Amino acid sequence: MNPYTQQYEFNKVKKQRQKRLIITYIIMTFAIIVISALCIALVLGWRFSGGQVKQGALVQFASFPSSATVTLDGTILNLKTPGKRDVDAGSHDVTISKEDYRNWNKRLSLEPGEVRWINYARLIPKDVDTKVLKEYPNLSQILPSIDRDWIMVAPDAAKPELEIIDIRDLKQITYTQFAIPSASLSLPPEVATHSYRLIEWSLDSKYILVEHKYGDSIEFIRIDCKNFANAVNLTVKFGVPIADVHFSTGDVFYGIDSGNMRRYDMNAEALSEPLARNVTKMKLFGDTDIALLRQENARFIVETYIDGKITKIVDYDETRPILMDIASYYNNRYLSISRGNELVVYENPHRLEKGQEPQQYTKQIFEGGEIKWLDMSSVGRFVIAGQSRQWITYDIELDTKSDINLAGMPGYESVPPQWIDESNIISIADNKLRMVDFNGDNEQVILNTLLNFPVSLNDNGKVLFSTNRNQAGVYQLQVSNMTIEKLTTTLGISAPVN
């Protein structure tokens, strides 16, 4: 073969190879596109079902305790909690069950492509084992800490004597009695009539605020729960007549004095210039987000103080009381305001530009009359508002409203229910501890307990602390096992529980 023929054949083979490579690359690219599209479609819930391509939904299941059975539309699924399952869009009935526990039921309505988290199912034992932890002849208050490691007890509101209970180790629960140091009080206890009230724990659960009233005067004491002698009188330290104060950190506070809202800093030994004036009420979320109510003549003005900036939201006349709360959910701030039977929620009201009117995120009507209390859950997802045993829940994530009406006694319209965790609510309107989901489903009567005393789980959620009173009138701090696991400790004294 001559050189020219040889070069021609070589170039011909080379071009054929290049053509095959191009075709191969095109096929591979197309295949990748198709596979990627199929994967995206699967992730978005698209399925081939009943001869049609449909977009379904994904449900994530979790429960306390875990390893529970999930039944969907009457069919037991081959999974234990936690787990997940692709389902068709539409309505479904879910039951989560576990031996020796009460069933938990929920009806779901799912949109195509939706991912729904059912991670709040709390299963209650069929038989709740309750014991008396300690008895008190008098009991004014109990206040569980935020981290659920401690319970502060005020036996007598007229005395500066407190007790702190360490519940971190259920095998070794300890009780420490102490008195608020007289040096931290403006007047010693024997001088005049006094009253003491537990206000709140700091976010790190190292300190607690106590309100001390004597005559017409009021002052606030910060108690160091690791060093009781290190009590600090905030009113004396800052030299202003504080009327309301709340923890930002253990050493920094926000409060109101003479109508001025300020920041009080113990480390700097200084108080700020007024952040707002004519303030009658404030609510603090976290360490810096504040909703505040100001009064100017006959108008009430709701504002926020967020990121160091005051923002006016809305103003009203003085004909009806105004309630408000503030929280954060997935980096968005939500302000809730109630007046009469109306509940209004605003999203990120602090981001308003000058002159811009705030837009209502939602407006809901409470059919039970005037709203007497308003509260947002600790994670900011839910708003509850109502009176006593009847309320509405607004779910910010799902944009849904639920109406709840539980058993209860008349005359307690201003007694709110209590969040026991991020999604479940405790109501004690009839001296029976009732637990329900945020939307009122799965109502469970657990035990008898007293109105106006808070209820708390311990840090792992396995034990519930509550308060009762026996037939002799003795107060009882009681503890209930919220699982069927045998507790390896004697939790309480041997005494009957009513």
Indicate the CATH number for domain 53-122. 2.60.40.10
Q: How buried is 257 (Cβ within 10 angstroms: 0-12 exposed, 13-18 middle, 19+ buried)?
A: buried
pTM above 0.75, yes or no: yes
Token couple for 394: 């607004």
Per-residue pLDDT, averaged over 73-91, amounts to 95
pLDDT at 44: 53
Domain range annotation of the chain = 3-43, 53-122, 140-414
According to the model, what pLDDT value does residue 210 have?
98
Q: What local confidence, expressed as pLDDT, does residue 11 receive? A: 58
Please say whether the beta carbons of 392 and 402 come within 8 A.
yes
What is the pLDDT at residue 495? 34
For 304, the token pair is: 């926020």
Mean pLDDT of the chain, nearest integer: 89
pLDDT at 407: 74
What is the pairing mode between strands 207-214 and 217-224? antiparallel
- Does the domain made of 140-414 have the CATH classification 2.130.10.10? yes
The answer, yes or no, to whether residue 491 has pLDDT greater than 60, is no
CA-nearest of 231, 232, 243 to 279 is: 243
Rounded distance between C-alpha atoms, residue 213 and residue 219, angstroms? 7
Task: Tell how far CA 107 is from the center of its chain.
Answer: 23
If DSSP states are collapsed to H, E and C, what string results for the chain?
Answer: CCHHHHHHHHHHHHHHHHHHHHHHHHHHHHHHHHHHHHHHHHHCCEEEECCEEEECEEEEEEEECCCCEEEECCEEEEEECCEEEEECCEEEEEEEECCCECCEEEEEEECCCCEEEEEEEECCECCCEEEEEEEECCCCEEEECCCCCEEEEECCCCCCEEEEEECCCCCCCEEEEEECCHHHCCCCCCCCCEEEEEEEECCCCCEEEEEEEECCEEEEEEEECCCHHHCEEHHHHHCCCEEEEEECCCCEEEEEECCEEEEEECCCCEECCCCECCEEEEEEECCCEEEEEEEECCEEEEEEEECCEEEEEEEEECCCCEEEEEEEECCEEEEEEEECCEEEEEECHHHCCCCCCCCEEEEEECCCCCCCEEEECCCCCEEEEEECCEEEEEECCCCEEEEEECCCCCCCCCCCCEECCCCEEEECCCCEEEEEECCCCCCEEEEECCCCCCCEECCCCCEEEEEEECCCCCEEEEEEECCCCCCCCCCCECCCCC
Give φ, ψ of 328 to 5 degrees: -125, 140
291 contact partners, CB below 8 Å, separation of at least 6: 282, 283, 285, 302, 303, 304, 324, 325, 326, 335
Which residue pairs, CB below 8 angstroms and at least 24 apart, start in 423-426?
423/120, 423/377, 423/381, 423/382, 424/120, 424/122, 425/384, 426/455
pLDDT confidence tier of residue 428, bands split at 50, 70 and 90: confident
> What are 44-72's pLDDT values in tens digits?
555 545 555 567 899 999 999 999 999 99
The pLDDT value recorded for residue 266 is 95
389-403 pLDDT, tens per residue?
A: 899 999 999 999 999
pLDDT recorded at residue 416: 86
Confidence at residue 496, expressed as pLDDT on a 0 to 100 scale = 35
pLDDT in tens, 282-294: 999 999 999 999 9
Residue 492 is predicted with a pLDDT of: 44
Q: What's the confidence (pLDDT) of residue 142?
A: 97
pLDDT at res. 66: 96
Q: Which residues pair with 304 in a beta bridge?
A: 291, 311
> What is the C-alpha to C-alpha distance for residues 462 and 65, in angstroms, rounded to an integer?
9
CB within 8 A of 413, min separation 6: which ones? 372, 387, 388
Confidence of residue 95 (pLDDT cuts 50, 70, 90): very high
Residue 1's pLDDT band (cuts 50, 70, 90): low
| pLDDT on residue 490 | 47
The pLDDT tens digits for 257-286 are: 999 999 999 999 999 999 999 999 999 999
pLDDT tens sequence across 2-12? 555 555 555 55
What is the structure's pLDDT at 411? 59
φ, ψ at 51 (rounded to 5°): 80, 10
